[in-house]
Chain A
Amino acid sequence: MTLGPPKSFRNGQAVPGAAIPTVAPRAFRDLVIAACASGARVCALYALPSGGEVTLHVLLAHDDVGRLSMLATRTRAGGSFPSMASALPSTQAMERAVFEDHGVLPEGHPWLKPLRRHPALQAGSGTEPGGPQGPADARRPEHPFFRVEGAGVHEVAVGPVHAGVIEPGHFRFQCSGETVHTLEIHLGYQHRGALARLVAARPAHRTAIAESLVGDGAISHGLAYGVVAEALGGVAVPERALALRQVALELERISDHVGDFGALCNDVGYLPAASWCPRLRGDIQNALGLLTGHRFGRGFLVPGGLIAPVGDDVLAELARVLATFGREFTQVVSLALDAPSVLSRFEGTGVVSQAVARDLGLLGVAARASGCDLDARRDHPLPGCRPLPSAPSVQATGDVLARARVRVAETTRSLERIQAQLAAMPDGPVRAPVGPWAGDAVAVGLVEGSRGQVTHVGITDANGGLAAYHVFDPSLLNWPGLAMALRGQQISDFPLCNKSFDLSYAGHDL
């Protein structure tokens, strides 16, 4: 066995599958743990079955040098590999998915519970998620909900259908009175088999599926798919398209952040901002509609660029709309974050420490609010794009207020970035033809969406057809952050904490 240094590459590059160093399962685990001890981050872990064998790939991000690397190992179908979840909690959900989808056992996994396919639900036999699991795999122990025992301890079950107009998921709280000891988040209700649809679809139709993975992340997921397709097809996207895509991505971020800020104000009863922010968000969705023809930006991106040119008159109108929005949003935020009734509820609520955030591999707003200085726009810029000089805001306190402040700072920075891009918009075409895809290759697309880093990985067969596709929405890593934030909190603060993370159920369940 020879161990070369893991091949490193950049966001939006395709690498030959054969160039990924393959090691024995135990060395795979040890190398990944060692790399993470010296600053690397696990972005993806997935399995590729072929014949009687299963290959595992791990994708590591080396943020300090802006590089990515991959490592592989092999085991027999139905075999096992040593789990790294105890040492690297950020991999726990990915290992569960590998087991669930391919029957390869992560040996020693501390909590090998179904992630998306609950046998009881799939059989249509009931909605009780803690109920008996089917005989899916005898190697999986049963996983009833974690219980706290003792006098006065009670359990609260919420979902899957929620009181609001939101996606389904199940939350199980162990409480004494108002105080939450633990929260267990049980998802999978949204599982649509989306990745299998994407692989089976005709190439021209895949962007539409990528855009439907997460409804309010259509641009970030559509773009991540585009980056993968462009890496495999070897195309240089024209400059004007690159700039307009970044404008769309920042508009999506502003839209999500403003909506969240309003929802946070709503959850603490600060009604002026709760009324104004949804209207302001609507203005941004309409701005995105003006640019893309759709309020969530669907149907705008294609591999190689954009579906159609955008006129300069549209861009001038966009600049006007955003200038007005900036003034009105600043008014609202300065009122809300100056109100004692808001601050007293935001401050110190739902704290996630930096150590916990780092262990869980939190991404995006959730990471930056807990002191983790991560931003793929700076560390892993899109191919052909200039990196962001710094993350807009990193807060130390890890509470709801920190997450609110990060959203506000990012909104302001995104507005500046869009205005700068509109002022210096390159001329020229917006679409370049994408060539046939490279065969036996692996391509990675990382995009900093509004919730954090969206990771897409495409794997081609010998003929350049799509053999497998894997997506890691930031929500996959961030949901456990919400569970940790609730420990020791009042159960009545759950909606506030939940909204401060604003995670996607569909992005987790795929």
Chain B
Amino acid sequence: MEVRMPGLIATWWSQGRRTVPTPSDASRLPEWFRGRPVLQPERCLPDCHACRDACPTDAVNTSPLRLDLGRCVACPECAAACPTGALTMSSDHRLATTRRDDLILDGGPARLAQAMESRTRRLLGRSLRLRQVSAGGCNGCESELATAGNVVWDMGRFGIQFVASPRHADGIVVTGPVSANMEQALRDTWEAVPAPRILIAVGACAISGGVFCGSPQCRDGVPADLPVDLYVPGCPPHPLTFLDGVLRLLDRLG
């Protein structure tokens, strides 16, 4: 032990403190990050459908220009295809919404997630336990959700934590396009969570089916009869996008 301790302490020292500051509207991700698409419909050329044709998930519509973040897989294709810069990508990580319609971008101001009603917020706002259900997720979203709990993003400091049982949970976080083989397990897990409970759909797959939309083996995301409280788009969403959305829902964004 007396040989090892200096190594451990020295490593501790040199690894340093890595936790990022409390997320806020001023939080910034690197320039390379493909976050919120920026639409400038006034720049569109007449009869140009280059962005629409380039999109692998039919997320883009032209005439008028619209982009459905719930289907968008954040690939570079539409922006690369646009001849005029009417559609570009920004590194803005704030993408989560509380209403499905708010995910449809039209070039107007961003409509971000709203705080939930005050009674539920009082109950869950300072301690939110979530059960994660992957239903056909490829391990992209799952991996980024796990990252949200590591020393860098440390969602535990906000009282948010993933738990091992739906009985201990205040809500579930669904990833994946909801494969037919997981639909029942997803419903059973949801039913096992005591009320009041919330449902968070994470990633293009859980919101719309993503690249698997239309597959007979999938349900195109969270079934319509389950009430989604927060949509976190992306493929996968960055851990900061997830944190930003949940903190807005809890009205705790610093």
Chain A residues engaging chain B, CB cutoff 8 angstroms? 116-118, 121-122, 124-127, 160-161, 163-168, 188-194, 196-197, 201, 204-205, 208-209, 212-216, 218, 259, 272, 275-276, 278-279, 282, 286, 289-290, 293-296, 298-299, 307-308, 328, 331-332, 334-335, 338-339, 504-506, 509
Contacts and interface: CB of A to CB of B under 8 A. Distances in A.
Contact of A335 (B7, B180, B218): B7
A196 B215 contact: yes
Contacts of A196: 215, 217
B61 to A, nearest CB: 16
Interface in B93-111: none
Contacts of A506: 136-139
Nearest to A213: B138
Contacts of B208: none
Interface in B153-207: 162, 164-165, 176-177, 179-185, 188-189
Nearest to A214: B138
B18 interface: yes
A201 B56 contact: yes
A298 B216 CA distance: 25
B133 interface: yes
Contacts of B180: 121-122, 124, 191
A267 B56 CA distance: 39
22 contacts: A121-B184, A124-B184, A165-B134, A168-B135, A190-B136, A191-B180, A191-B217, A192-B177, A192-B218, A204-B77, A209-B56, A212-B210, A213-B138, A215-B139, A215-B140, A272-B12, A276-B11, A276-B151, A278-B147, A298-B75, A307-B76, A335-B4
Nearest to B189: A161
What's the interface size class on B, roughly? 35 or more
Interface stretch (B29-37, B117-125, B246-254): B29-37
Interface string B124-149: 00000001111111111111111101
Nearest to A206: B56
B152 A295 contact: no
B185 A160 contact: yes
Contacts of B144: 295
A12 B12 CA distance: 46
B33 A166 contact: no
B235 interface: yes
A116 B180 CA distance: 11
A167 B30 contact: no
A208 B139 contact: no
Given A190-B136, A307-B76, A296 B185 contact: no
Contacts of A307: 76, 80
B159 to A, nearest CB: 17
A61 to B, nearest CB: 26
B238 interface: yes
